[in-house]
Amino acid sequence: VQSQLSQIQTQQQQNQNQLTQSQKELQQAKTHSQQFQNQLKAAQSQSQARQNQIQQIQRELQQAKEALQQNLLNQKELQQTNQSSQQSHNQEVSNLKTALSQSESKVTEIQGRLDSLQKMFEEREADNKRLQEQLTEANKANRATQACQNQSSPSIQASDANVVTDANHAQQEELAKLRQEMSESKAREEQLKKQIADKEEKTKKVFMGAKTKINQLNSKSHEHVHYIENMLKLLCSFALKSNLQ
């Protein structure tokens, strides 16, 4: 009986030891399970954070694409406007240059007529002076012998003088008229030159402004392209890490 009792006690002790060992293993299993759950929660939180970050990057990427498209559209519209404005300015400058050329031709024509009339006037003046001198010499020679002619001579001289005066007056009026036309043509010519210079200066400013705007849009477009490339690289990096995990 004592031997059996001893065996039973020994068996109970072994069972107790096995129970204690099982409890330890169970506790370890619970601990490992809790650790796995914590790791799972951490991984889920990290995955959710990365998912949120990816969504944020995708939104920023979409915004960058839209901004790039808008910049490209603005650049295209600006180039079209610039081209239309350039054509309009070129047409206006061409019209002004044509008008200037016509005005210069008119001035040249009037100058030629003026020179011709001036030469004619000088020739008439010389002829009148020569005739006046001849008339005076003839009057002096005939004064002693032709009394009746001397009486009519003043009226003849007056008539000749009136003819000369009328001719000179008409020529003076014609010269004054031509000088006035020439002055007006030169004034129009100067005005056209000023308009052409102003138009070319304005066109230059418009072109410089458009060029600056296009350069700015190009710079922004390059920035957006660079930003999109970086976002795509970042998305690829996140996707690769997610696949590896």
| Each residue's pLDDT tens digit, 144-199 | 555 554 444 444 444 544 544 555 566 667 666 766 766 676 676 677 667 666 66
158 or 9: which carries more pLDDT confidence? 9
Q: Which tens digit of pLDDT belongs to each residue from 15-40? A: 888 888 888 988 988 988 899 889 88
What SS3 state is found at 144?
coil
Class of residue 135 by CB neighbours under 10 A (exposed 0-12, middle 13-18, buried 19+): middle
CA distance 166 to 171: 9
Q: Is 228 in contact with 61 (CB distance < 8 Å)?
A: yes
Could you tell me which residues come within 8 angstroms of residue 99 by beta carbon, excluding any fewer than 6 positions away? Answer: 192
Cα 145 versus chain centre, distance: 92
Secondary structure letter of residue 245 according to DSSP: -
Global model pTM greater than 0.85: no
Q: How many domains does the chain have?
A: 1
CA distance 177 to 197: 30
Q: Is 218 in contact with 47 (CB distance < 8 Å)?
A: no
Secondary structure letter of residue 208 according to DSSP: H
Q: What is the CATH number of the domain that holds 228?
A: 1.10.287
What's the rounded mean pLDDT across residues 38-58?
Answer: 86
With tokens 């957006």, the residue in question is 224
Q: How many CB atoms lie within 10 A of CB 224?
A: 20
Q: Structural domain of residue 41, as residue ranges?
A: 2-244
